[in-house]
Structure 1
Amino acid sequence: MATILGVTGRQFVPSSKGYNDWQYQYATTTHGVDHDMNPGLIVQPRNKADIKAVIAYARDHNKAIAIRTGGHQYSGASSTGPGNIQLDLRRTFQAPDDLAYFEKGTSSFVRASVSHSLGAFNHFLGQHKVFVPHGQCVEVHVGGHVQTGGYGQLGRSFGLFGDHVLSLEIIDHAGQEREITKESDPELFHAWLGGSPGNLGVLTHMTIQVHRDSDYVGSMGLRVVHLYSTAKLKKILAQLAEMNDDPDFPRNYDLCVSVLSASFDVLGLMGGLDDKMRREHPEIFGKDGTPFWPRSIIVYAQWVPFSPDDKPDLAWFQRLQGDSFFSGGVQTKPMSELTAEWIFRNTREFDLPYVKRTYLTDSTTLSKDGWVDWVVGRMDRVVQPTGNGQWLSAQLQCFGGQHSMFARNADNGTAYSWRDSTLCMTIDNFHKPEKQAAAEEWQAVNDEQGIGENGLFSKQDRRVLWGSYGTFDLDSVWETYYDDRPKYERLMRARKAADPEGIFTPNTFCVKRAD
């Protein structure tokens, strides 16, 4: 494929110097064979004019465009094959006015571009003493994050990142700039936020309503690191399950538990597939802030006051803290400072390929159904042995209860699904290449025992777009990502209107367009 005349930004074809570096993204270590992530052309536009030129070229030459911001999509859906184009927006919109804070009366807002990482975005919010719920991965970029929900530590107390979006600025299939709000175009607004990420046009900026620290004085947080033990993990997850099962649990509290194998290989170097990128191209790979850690259970908990009468239950925090390896204790801090402490400062957990799973459940009987013992036993199989060539990264977080804003925001005009879910569980197996079969077998048992009619975690297969796994053909498994057929068909109609010529259909991980 030839480069595009008139584009002022950098362009790379497969024969170009630097192509092999810039085509890299998170999923290439795992899906480099089964999903084609070798675009015929990579374009790094400098401005909106470049983007419009790429769209016009794609339309005239029957090419499709894959849109990349951070390139952190686990299945590689932000890339495409040699017949198509990747539009890489990581550096396009990073001028001072691409991240701006402003106030109107008693409300605060941020206009942000898709080119900012969560780490940079969180830092900017902290400078202005404001916060918004968002995820924990430092190198995830806000463009893909907002379209897939923005699951994060404040999910119960404040909802999703995407729940706070007021407007979206896009460039559509015809190269026209548009601003979309719930009032101006409810169908397209609905589809952009939770529908078919990257397949409706080019998102450039968004306006987000944020929360002021000064409105939540007295917020408290706890970050605890426990050295891994089976007994300790059972105790902590039992408390998580009790919280999950209580429909009246106060909205003030959020709790997330991470479980990590040690970051070092006792028997030698991991030999990860990303070593060269990490060493030689940190500007592409990202920079790691925490290179070493032991086998760990990490607890993130916080409480936020919503009225002067709200008082924290310090015993709840103390049970989580217990006899810990490291703890700063329960800290009373502005929420913008607490959210910075929840961020995982590494580009990826382990420098290895992975077999990924993220499940949701609507169960309110996890503390009674044997789930705690089962899931701890499954984690033990990876974490406890030394030299097995497999490493665990797990994250479990409560979202449920009748007071939870995750649930109460269900009818706010977005398409994010499974709002009646009570808990989200990510349980990933990073492995040496020669241990792929063992990792896949371990996950297959998790699927069989944890999900389905007799599943110990969820009776229904519920997935999230940001944690996708399994088949790359979204239409064939739509019922695992969307609540019901009417919602999916509504999104199909929106896709047909937004992408009538298939310009933004670079692979099969997208909502099908209506016939």
Structure 2
Amino acid sequence: MATISGVTGTQFLPTAVGYDDERYQYATSTYKDDPSHVMKPGLIVQPLDKDDIKKVIAFAKANKKAIAIRTGGHQYSGASSTGPDNIQLDVSNTFRSTEDLVYFEEVNKVRASVSHSLGEFNAFLGQNHVFVPHGQCTHVHLGGHVQTGGYGQLGRSFGLLGDHVLSLEIIDHDGQEKEITRTSDPDLFFAWLGGSPGNFGVLTHFSLEVHRDADHLGSLGLRVLHLYDKDKLRKLVGHLAAMSDDENFPRNYDLCISVLSAGYDIMGLLGGLDERMRFEHPEIFGTDDNPVWPRMIVVYAQYVPFGPDDKPNMHFFEQLKMGHWFQSEVRKKPMSELTAGWIFRNTREFDLPYVKRTYLTKSKTLGKDGWVDWVVGRMDEIVEPLFNGQWLSAQLQCFGGKNSMFTRNAGNGTSYSWRDSTMCMTIDNFHEPGKKAEAEAWAAKNDEGIGANGKFSNQDRRVLWGSYGSFDLDSVWNKYHEDRPKYERLMKARKLADPDGIFTPNTFCVKRAA
């Protein structure tokens, strides 16, 4: 493959100096030798502007190449990369001027580009005293995040980031600039937001409604850091299960519990790809603000009032303290300031390859079905041994109940799946390269919690941002989308948006209709 004539941005062929570093992303060290997850583009293009993007699309169309679109490059399975026959379009730094992130106070709207990270986005919102739900990983970029939902700490109280989108600005398969809204093109709006990320065109910007701090005076937040203790973890997860099981739990509250193995044991000792990139290329890898931590349980909890008669139940917070190691007491702060405290400040959890799992459930009996003891036991198996070559990163969060905006936003014109879910559980094993078999066996045991007799869910429900297992999305469509009519609607949208397969760079794509 040759470089593309007329492109003003930087291009990297596989023979170019720096190519191996520029193709690096979150999943590279995990899937570098996996033939089903090829992450070696035939050409990497870092466009300077929309004209560059249009030239890449025209080249791909003329030469029957496909384009993988990267914003932050954090997709679990590496779906934002591609193989030697195709092109990776890296827009992580393309749209970063002052015009690419703007707050319109008079209409309470933000226009953002795909090139901004969540950390930057959160800081910008805080400067303008507004907020919106979004995820917690500082270096995840907005492009992939909004297309896959934007799951985050405010899920019950305000829904997903993608629920707030008003319009999408795209460049289509013909190189035409378009703006898509719920009313102008409901099928494409539906497909872009939750269907098959990066496979309908090139998203450059989006506009979304935001929430004013001034409309929610009296917001409270608590972040508690507990040193790891199995019995304490069991009590905390029990509180989470009770909240999740309560269909009538007020919308005002959100609760998330994270569990992390110690972060100090791997500093500089393993010398793997992630570790090398962190030291040699922080401009690609990102920066870490918390390189060292003990084994710990982190509790994030918050309350937001929706009217003058709303009053917090302080017992909700008090039961989460339990002889803490470190905490900020329950703080009364504007929500835009509280959300800054939910951001995880490291580029990745551990500088290691991983086996990842993210599960959803609609169960309302987790506290009665033995799930609490089961999941605590599964986590303790990895966290308790200090030197077993495996490290846990887990996050458990409530999303459900009839008052939850995650639930109530179903049918809002987006295609984000499983909106009747009550809880999301991410439970990941980062491992030394020689411990891959043990990590996979541990994850396989966790998979037994899913299915007819599963402790967590009787149905295999997955999310596109937390993909795992088969990389052929069409063969496992029913794990990511609820029913065949919905999937076929997405297939038809893909055929219209991508008739020549320009945006089909790998198999993790909704199939195009015949």
Q: TM-score scaled to structure 1, two decimals? A: 0.99
SS in 1 for 2:413: coil
How many Å apart are 1:276 and its aligned residue?
1.3
SS in 1 for 2:345: coil
Please tell me whether residue 482 in structure 1 is matched to residue 484 in structure 2: no
Q: CA-to-partner distance for each residue in 1:458-505, whole Å, 9 max, x for gaps?
A: 000000000000010000000000011110000000000000000000
Structure 1 distance, partners of 2:122, 2:390, is 32
Structure 2 distance, partners of 1:332, 1:415, is 35
Is this contact kept in 2: 1:156–1:251, CA < 8 A? yes
Structure 2 distance, partners of 1:23, 1:260, is 28
Q: 1:396 — aligned with what?
A: 396
Q: 1:96 — aligned with what?
A: 98
1:326-337 matches, within 5 Å, as 326-337=326-337
One-letter amino acid of the structure 1 residue matched with residue 465 of structure 2: W
Q: 2:136 — aligned with what?
A: 136
Is this contact kept in 2: 1:52–1:171, CA < 8 A? yes
Structure 2 distance, partners of 1:350, 1:268, is 12
Aligned equivalent of 1:55, options 51, 54, 57:
57
Q: CA-to-partner distance for each residue in 1:95-146, whole Å, 9 max, x for gaps?
A: 1100001023xx4111000000000000000000000000000000000000
Q: 1:188 — aligned with what?
A: 188
1:106-125 matches, within 5 Å, as 107-125=107-125
One-letter amino acid of the structure 1 residue matched with residue 76 of structure 2: Y
1:369-408 matches, within 5 Å, as 369-408=369-408
Distance 1:78 1:267, change over 3 A: closer
Q: 1:363 — aligned with what?
A: 363
How many Å apart are 1:272 and its aligned residue?
3.8
SS in 1 for 2:108: strand
SS in 1 for 2:329: coil
SS in 1 for 2:396: strand
SS in 2 for 1:293: coil
Q: 1:343 — aligned with what?
A: 343
One-letter amino acid of the structure 1 residue matched with residue 410 of structure 2: A
Is this contact kept in 1: 2:396–2:425, CA < 8 A? yes
Q: 1:232 — aligned with what?
A: 232
Q: 1:424 — aligned with what?
A: 424
Structure 1 distance, partners of 2:429, 2:24, is 21
SS in 2 for 1:80: coil
Structure 2 distance, partners of 1:501, 1:267, is 47
Is this contact kept in 2: 1:390–1:435, CA < 8 A? yes
Please tell me whether residue 42 in structure 1 is matched to residue 44 in structure 2: yes
Q: 1:174 — aligned with what?
A: 174
Is this contact kept in 1: 2:26–2:74, CA < 8 A? yes
Please tell me whether residue 298 in structure 1 is matched to residue 291 in structure 2: no
Structure 1 distance, partners of 2:273, 2:280, is 13
Q: 2:444 — aligned with what?
A: 444
One-letter amino acid of the structure 1 residue matched with residue 338 of structure 2: L
Aligned equivalent of 1:79, options 57, 78, 81:
81
Is this contact kept in 2: 1:171–1:203, CA < 8 A? yes
Is this contact kept in 1: 2:168–2:207, CA < 8 A? yes
Structure 1 distance, partners of 2:491, 2:195, is 9
How many Å apart are 1:369 and its aligned residue?
0.4
What number of residue pairs does the alignment pair up?
A: 512
**RMSD of the TM alignment (CA)?**
0.9
Is this contact kept in 1: 2:494–2:512, CA < 8 A? yes
Structure 2 distance, partners of 1:387, 1:255, is 31
Identity of aligned residues (%): 73
How many Å apart are 1:271 and its aligned residue?
3.7
One-letter amino acid of the structure 2 residue matched with residue 75 of structure 1: S
One-letter amino acid of the structure 1 residue matched with residue 119 of structure 2: G
One-letter amino acid of the structure 1 residue matched with residue 511 of structure 2: K
Q: CA-to-partner distance for each residue in 1:313-346, whole Å, 9 max, x for gaps?
A: 1111000012100011100000000000000000
Is this contact kept in 2: 1:115–1:143, CA < 8 A? yes
Structure 2 distance, partners of 1:344, 1:446, is 25
Is this contact kept in 1: 2:268–2:275, CA < 8 A? no
Structure 1 distance, partners of 2:33, 2:198, is 22
Which runs of no fewer than 5 residues in structure 2 stay unpaired?
none
Moved more, 258-267 or 110-119: 258-267
One-letter amino acid of the structure 2 residue matched with residue 498 of structure 1: A
SS in 1 for 2:53: helix
How many Å apart are 1:264 and its aligned residue?
1.8
Please tell me whether residue 508 in structure 1 is matched to residue 507 in structure 2: yes
Q: TM-score scaled to structure 2, two decimals? A: 0.99
How many Å apart are 1:280 and its aligned residue?
1.0
Structure 1 distance, partners of 2:262, 2:383, is 8
SS in 2 for 1:330: strand
One-letter amino acid of the structure 1 residue matched with residue 503 of structure 2: F
Please tell me whether residue 499 in structure 1 is matched to residue 460 in structure 2: no
SS in 2 for 1:329: strand
Q: CA-to-partner distance for each residue in 1:439-458, whole Å, 9 max, x for gaps?
A: 0000001102x000000000
How many Å apart are 1:268 and its aligned residue?
8.4
Q: 1:314 — aligned with what?
A: 314
4+ aligned runs moved over 4 Å, structure 1: none
SS in 2 for 1:397: strand
One-letter amino acid of the structure 2 residue matched with residue 177 of structure 1: E
Please tell me whether residue 199 in structure 1 is matched to residue 207 in structure 2: no
Q: CA-to-partner distance for each residue in 1:134-177, whole Å, 9 max, x for gaps?
A: 00000000000000000000000000000000000000000000
SS in 1 for 2:210: strand
Structure 1 distance, partners of 2:152, 2:467, is 17
One-letter amino acid of the structure 2 residue matched with residue 257 of structure 1: I
